[in-house]
Structure 1
C-alpha cells in the first residue's frame, strides 16, 4: 500500500472519531500477531522455509445501534530480515460493515478471517493464509445456536482486468452437536477465470474440496480440558473446462484426535487415499498416505495475551519432516459512548 492510501485510512479514522451523532458508540480494537514458523521439509522433497515476522491490525468504527456497526483500519505485515527497506512490507485495508442480530451475523467488506474462516482443515486451505492473507474481501453470513452453526462466505481474490484474472473463493462450513457426538463439514471452491485479454494456453479452472466427519467430544467425560476424536471423508474436485467436461474427484479417509491439559496439547491428523491437487491446500495431501503429529505448549496465557509453541512431525512418502513454530497473539478493545445528552 502506498503513502496516499495510508493517508486516506488515517484521514478516515479522524473523520469517524470526530463524528457527533446521536445513539452511536465509538469502538476500537487492536490485534497483534507474532509468528515464527520453521519448516524442514527437505526429506519429502517439499518446500522448506522459515516464516518469521509479525502483523498488527488496529480498527476503529461506529456501533450505530444494538445490531449494526462499521469498522475501518488496516492489517500491516513486517517480515523480519526484509530487504525492502520499508517500515512495513505490506498493508491490507480493513473496511467493513457488520450486522449481528439474534443468531445471525453478516459481514461485507474487507474484514479479518480470524475467528470466522481460520479453522479449515489444512488439506483444504493451508495455514499460510493466516500469515499472508489475513482478510476476507467479500461477504460472509453466519448462523449459530447452542447445537448448530453454519458459515457461508465469498472471498474475491482478484478482479478481472485486461491482464489480471478473475478469481474468487466460495465456501461453507458447519457443525451440529446435540450432545457428545457431532457432525462437521468444510467445503470450498476456487474459481480461476481468464483475463480480459485471453492468455494462450490458459483455461478456466474450478478447484476445491470437501471434508465431512463424525466425531465425539469427550471433554466433560475425562480429567482432560479437551478431548475430541473424529473420522470421515475428504475429497477434492478439479476441472479445467476447455480440456475436460467432467470433474476429477479423488477421495480418501481422514481422522483427527485432539487432547489438551492445562498448558499442553497433542493433535494427530491422519489421511489415507488418493492424492489431491488442491491449489489452496497443504502440499502433503498430494501423497496417498500422510500423518501429522502436533505437540503444543502454551507458556504464556494472560487475559488477552497468549503465546504457544508447536512442534510438528510429518510422516509422508517414507520420510519424517519436522516443523517448529511459536505464535503470540494479543488483542485489546474498548468503546466510548458519544450519544448527546438530552
Structure 2
C-alpha cells in the first residue's frame, strides 16, 4: 500500500478517537545528517570509506489518558552521491514507522516498528557500532523497560528486533538486546549490556549461527571542574557457526573507558585488551553477522579509540550537534575518522475532544 493511501487512514483513526476523552494529536519530525570520513589505510582490521547521509522522519499520532500513544511515520533516507546508473534516485530508502507505546513514570513498553532512540541502555560499540545505529535506526518488535524513581540513572530494559524473515531470498534473523544499570551513592554505578543474535539461514542455504556478547561493567561519575566518567568492564562473546563446526568460540577481553566533558567539549578514550571478538568474520561478517565496530576483530590483542571534539544540545534539547576527530589504533597502525552529526527532534501535542470533569 502506498504511503499516500495510508496517511488519510491514520489521520481518520486519530481524529475518530473511538469515544475516548482527553485525547491529544501528536505532530512531529526527526531530522538527522551524518558525515563520516574514515581514513584507515594504516589499519589491517577496517576499511577506508566516506559515509554522508541525511534522514527525515515525519510522524503523526494520537495520545490518550496520558499513558497511551499510537504513532505512524515515514523514515526517508538519502545517501549523498548515490546514483542508480545515470539517474540519481529520489530517495535511497523509504520505510514505515508505526508503533504503540505505553508510558508511565516507571514503566515504558513499545510494540511495532519504532526508533532506536526508544532504547535507554548504554550499549558499547562492541555490540552496536555508531554506523549501524544510524543506518539500522528502526527496531521491529517489542521493548520493555523499568526506571527507578528512587535512584537516578537506575533502569533495566529488554528489546527484541526481528531483522529478517525466513524465505528463499532472506535469512531468518532476530536480535535480543538488554541493558541495566544501578547507581550507588557518590556517583558509583554498575551495570550490563547484552546482545544475542540468531543468524539463521534461508530456504536455499540452511545454516544457523548463534552470536552472543555480554558486557558487565562498573564505573564512577564525578565532578572535579570537568565532568569525569571512568568505567571498566568485561566483553565476553560466545558464538557458534553450526555450518562451519559445532564448537563454541569464546573470545573475551577487558575494556577501560574514560570520558571528560565541559562546556560541550568532550575527550573520550576506549581501550580494549583481549581476543578477536569477531572470529567468524571470514564466513559471515560481510553478510551482517556482527553489528559491533569492525576494529574489535583485531588479532593483535589491542584496540584503542580516542575521540576529541564537541558534543552539545541546544534549544531545550531539540537540536544536537556533534563534531570531532577520532583516532583508532588496532595494533597494526593508526587511522583517523572525521565526524560531523546534526540532529533535530521536534514534536507538538494538540488537545482534542473533551476533558474529564
Same fold (TM over 0.5): yes
2: distance between equivalents of 1:296 and 1:47?
23
1:185 to 180, 192, 210: 192
Cα separation, partners in 2 of 1:276 and 1:211, compared to 1, 3 Å: same
Matches within 5 A, 1:1-342: 4-19=1-16, 21-23=19-21, 24-45=23-44, 46-84=46-84, 85-116=88-119, 119-145=122-148, 146-147=151-152, 148-179=154-185, 180-195=187-202, 197-199=203-205, 202-219=206-223, 222-224=224-226, 226-277=227-278, 279-287=290-298, 288-298=301-311, 301-303=314-316, 304-340=318-354
1:96-119, CA deviations, whole angstroms, 9 ceiling, x for partnerless residues? 000112411100000000151674
1: CA distance, partners of 2:315 / 2:263: 13
Deviation, structure 1 residue 208:
2.3
Paired residues of 2:122 and 2:193 also in contact (CA < 8 A): no
- Deviation of residue 190 (structure 1)? 0.8
Q: What CA distance in whole angstroms lies between the structure 1 residues aligned with 2:93 and 2:121?
A: 20
RMSD: 1.9
In structure 2, what is the Cα distance between the partners aligned to 1:218 and 1:299? 19
Aligned counterparts of 2:118 and 2:111: Cα–Cα separation in 1 = 16
Mapped partners of 2:172, 2:8: distance in 1: 31
Contact 1:118-1:130 at 8 Å conserved across structures: no
Q: Shift of the alpha carbon at 1:254?
A: 0.5
- TM-score normalised to the size of structure 2? 0.88
Q: Deviations over 1:241-291 (max 9, x none)?
A: 355444211111101001100020000000001111171111111111011
CA deviation vs aligned residue, 1:157-184 (integer Å, no higher than 9, x gap) = 0111233221011121111112221102
- CA distance in 2: counterparts of 1:298 and 1:281, whole angstroms: 22
In structure 2, how many angstroms separate the alpha carbons of the residues matched to 1:299 and 1:188?
A: 29
Greater CA drift, 254-263 or 37-46: 37-46
* Structure 1, unpaired ranges of 5+: none
**Is the alpha carbon distance of 1:299 and 1:96 closer, same or farther for their aligned partners in structure 2, counting shifts above 3 Å?**
closer
CA displacement 1:4-58 (0-9 Å, x = unmatched)? 4322342334324543543121112211101101111121132111111211111
When residues 298 and 121 of structure 1 are mapped into structure 2, their CA distance, relative to the original with a 3 A threshold, is closer
Runs of at least 4 residues off by over 6 Å: none
Q: For 2:16, what is the secondary structure of its paired residue?
A: coil
CA contact (8 A) 2:210 2:241 kept: yes
Distance 2:89 2:204 in 1: 36
- Structure 2: runs of 5 or more not aligned: 279-288
Name the CA shift for 1:299/1:99 in 2 (closer, same or farther; >3 Å).
closer
Query: Partners of 1:40 and 1:16 in 2: how far apart?
Result: 50
Counterpart CA distance in 2 for 1:296 and 1:115 is 26
1:301 Cα deviation from its structure 2 partner: 3.1
Whole-angstrom distance in 2 between the partners of 1:309 and 1:279: 26
Number of residue pairs matched by the alignment: 333
Counterparts of 2:326 and 2:244 in 1: how far apart (Å)?
39
SS at match of 1:185: strand
- Match of 2:237, SS state, is strand
CA contact (8 A) 1:208 1:279 kept: no
Alignment partners' CA distance in 1, 2:294 and 2:133: 16
The superposition leaves residues 222-255 of structure 1 with CA deviations (integer Å, 9 ceiling, x where unpaired) of 112x211011211111112355444211111101
In the superposition, the TM-score normalised over structure 1's length comes to 0.91
Inter-partner Cα distance in structure 2 for 1:27 and 1:52: 30
